[in-house]
Amino acid sequence: MPALDRSACALLFSGAHTAHAFGDEPVTDAQIRELWDLVSPAPTAFNSHPMRMVLVRSAAARERLVSHMSEGNKAKTAAAPLSVVLAWDDAFPATLPRVLPHNPAAAGFFGDDERRRTFAVQQAWLQAGYFIVGVRAIGLAAGPMLGFDAPGVDADLLAGTSLRSICVVNVGAPSADSYKPRSPRLAYDEVVTVL
Ligand SMILES: Cc1cc2nc3c(=O)[nH]c(=O)nc-3n(C[C@H](O)[C@H](O)[C@H](O)COP(=O)(O)O)c2cc1C
């Protein structure tokens, strides 16, 4: 099996950072489509892929999104070339017959509200990780943020939909002031247990 070379690993992981500022270049729909083409084959349980991407493009929608961001996240969200609300779709079981045709009974597994929510949030977060790596893979930088009022976003930008937000990610071309210094990570021995 081939492996990624060092420069590809650096682009995706070792040399990549969370971005807090961006260059001015716009992020196009074609780039987000390319990203989705890259990451959509990534695995999720039941092949459910319940994550949805809401591209906040209009000035009015951008202003409303910024109003729901925490103080420290407002200015960089207002200035980002593109902000994407990552959400899970409460209606995802409706797509299961199409994406999991060999298991027609799967949708019935998610009738219980709490079970459906817990599952979809977990799987959407898994996809959010793929999303961040996908942004890097197409040569852009990502600034994921949990500092926002998710119920506020749901009641405002996502009102009348079956989408529930989990994360807001600013996306754009990296610039000289995009990154903060790397904080320490845990060592291998701290995170690995061999039984
Ligand atoms: C899910 C998630 C939520 C985050 N929320 C925020 C946030 O609200 N505001 C912020 O400034 N940074 C936020 N961060 C950035 C993290 O602090 C950053 O990714 C981490 O410190 C690693 O930084 P590095 O990529 O430069 O090494 C978030 C990152 C992730 C993955």
Structure confidence by residue, pLDDT tens digits, 111-155: 999 999 999 999 999 999 999 999 999 999 999 999 999 999 999
Pairing of strands 51-56, 141-145: unpaired
CATH 3.30.70.1230 fits 23-174, yes or no: no
pLDDT (tens digit, 9 = 90+) per residue, 178-194?
999 999 999 999 999 99
The reported pLDDT for the residue numbered 82 is 98
What strand order describes the sheet that includes 51-56?
Answer: 51-56, 82-89, 163-172, 141-145
Does the reported pTM lie above 0.95? yes
Contact 131, 141 (CB under 8 A): no
State whether residue 24 is helix, strand or coil: coil
Which residue owns the Cα nearest ligand 1 atom 4? 145
Which residue owns the Cα nearest ligand 1 atom 20? 18
pLDDT at 65 over 90: yes
Q: How far apart are CA 35 and CA 133, in angstroms?
A: 9
Domain extents for the chain?
23-174
Which residue owns the Cα nearest ligand 1 atom 17? 18
The reported pLDDT for the residue numbered 17 is 96
CA of 18 to the centre of ligand 1 (A): 6
The reported pLDDT for the residue numbered 16 is 96
pLDDT (tens digit, 9 = 90+) per residue, 30-47?
999 999 999 999 999 999
pLDDT at 107 over 90: no
Atom of ligand 1 nearest to the CA of 181: 26
